[in-house]
Structure 1
């Protein structure tokens, strides 16, 4: 098992891929593609998105998360499993 840090510009659009690009979460199409957002009721998501929109507009998000903006990747606990050959020599 190998750590799989998520790069800041990861092109796969799963939820954590936008950790350094929170403005992507404002796009309803991106939220619909996320199982996390899709499972939550609008009564939870919409106020959170409104807060994020306000934080981005006021630059509060950038001040609060300035340490993230300098990082190239973050380890969010994802792990890569690599299947290898067993003792029998068969894949």
Structure 2
């Protein structure tokens, strides 16, 4: 009879330890779940930031292309005006000679 009580006591102690470990694991799992949720929110925020940065990069690239085109157009206009000025200078010299 004493042996049965001893075995029962050992089993009860063992079950109590298992229950305690199960409870600790549950608490740990809750902590890990909260950390996972927090990391997920951080990741989503970073993804949104990346999308914003990509959009801004595209806008800057488009602006750069526009500026390059404007620069090219201005260079052509400069060359045209320079030629026109040279032609006018020649006409002016010609008129001065004809006087």
TM-score normalised by length of structure 1: 0.21
Q: Specify the structure having the higher radius of gyration (Cα).
A: 2
Between Structure 1 and Structure 2, which shows a larger proportion of strand residues?
Answer: 1
Between Structure 1 and Structure 2, which shows a larger proportion of helix residues?
Answer: 2
